[in-house]
Amino acid sequence: MRNWQNIHAFEVSRFLCYYRMVGVTLFELFHNRTLSLIFPNTFEYFFIFIEATRLRWSPSRLSRKTIIIAAAFIWIVIKLPQEYWIHVAQHDTTDLMKEHSWMLPAMIVAIVAILAGGYWASTRKCPPADVSLRFDADAGKPDLTPDQTAGANRTFVTCSFDSDLLEKIIMVSMISIIFSNVLPNVNSTKLQLSTGVAAIIIVNSLLSVWLARRGVGWSSAFTQFIAMAGSNVVIAFGFYLILRSGSGSIHLGNTLFFFLLLTLLVTLFDRYLPFYLARVCVKSPATA
């Protein structure tokens, strides 16, 4: 949302990210290792592919066909064998290296060959580089015009309670369910956890829209995070009082972890959604 200019790459990465999260959520619920093979983590390597491209070239040059082929290659050739090796066959590379002394030298040779092949392809087969090697995440990102910024903010205010709100609820609910199976002393059901997440996100969205309509902006993501964390601490204290008045209880450590995790995800989502809307959904007066 923040700086990817190629919309096709963004949409493919969004699908791959949520697809993987669905698989991990199902795995935590059913503990079937085959799910890791059905839902491979293609997103991670696809993200690296796009960011590696951005080091020298503009990703906007990548066609939709090229992006889909790259995602399919990573999925089938790289991730499926890796997921099978790790999660289905449950092989441990470290143990195999101890048993077979030739594996470490072979891996080093393979890595050197891959790096050499990558350098040869990037310098001999790929198009001429657009820029010199750069590691600035925002380098090359065009500045938004005042009209685009204003239009994106208006769109954010009007669309914060449709698909974007649903996306946040689904995303944070899945991540919370995944962590609830890892953290100790989590006694809530998945439905209770998802309902609580949805309620907090709705309150956060109401607060964000209320502030946006009054022209309140944030100088940095950290400032926005602190403000939203403060409001969520108040909500957490409200939950504590409600549960204490009945027969319920609350685990302070887990509660703070989930609230900070939720606050971080929602803050970054809301902060960079207008950037995405400005590039995709908002037309300037000259092109409208």
pLDDT in tens, 32-48: 989 989 999 999 999 99
275 and 157, same domain (yes or no) = yes
153 and 54, same domain (yes or no) = no
Instruction: Report how far Cα 185 is from the mean position of its chain's Cα atoms.
Output: 27
Closest CA to 6 of 51, 49, 61, 47: 61
Give the pLDDT score at 276. 84
Considering only the C-alpha atoms of the chain, give the largest distance between any 2 of them, rounded to a whole number of Å: 71
68 and 21, same domain (yes or no) = yes
Q: Report the share of the chain in percent with pLDDT over 70.
A: 88
In a domain, 134, yes or no: no
104 and 177, same domain (yes or no) = no
Judged against a pLDDT cut of 60, whether residue 8 lies above it is answered with yes
273 and 194, same domain (yes or no) = yes
pLDDT category of residue 60 using cuts at 50, 70 and 90: confident
110 and 152, same domain (yes or no) = no
The answer to whether the pTM exceeds 0.85 is: no
Give the pLDDT score at 15. 96
Give the pLDDT score at 288. 33
Burial 184-197 (b: 16+ CB within 10 A, else e): eebebeeeebbebb
254 and 166, same domain (yes or no) = yes
205 and 159, same domain (yes or no) = yes
121 and 150, same domain (yes or no) = no
pLDDT category of residue 284 using cuts at 50, 70 and 90: very low
In a domain, 111, yes or no: yes
Of 91, 125, 159, the residue at which a domain comes to its end is: 125
Closest CA to 233 of 211, 209, 263: 263
95 and 177, same domain (yes or no) = no
Give the pLDDT confidence of 162-221 residue by residue, as tens digits: 788 889 999 999 999 998 888 887 777 888 888 888 888 888 888 877 777 777 767 778
Q: Please answer whether residues 165 and 205 qualify as being in contact, where contact means their C-beta atoms are separated by less than 8 angstroms.
A: yes
Structural domain that includes position 97: 7-125
Judged against a pLDDT cut of 70, whether residue 156 lies above it is answered with no
Residue with tokens 């439905």: 191
The domain tally of the chain equals 2
Q: Taking residues 249-270, what's their average pLDDT?
A: 84
161 and 265, same domain (yes or no) = yes
172 and 57, same domain (yes or no) = no
As a whole number of angstroms, the distance between CA 226 and CA 216 comes to 15
What is the average pLDDT value for the chain, to the nearest integer? 84
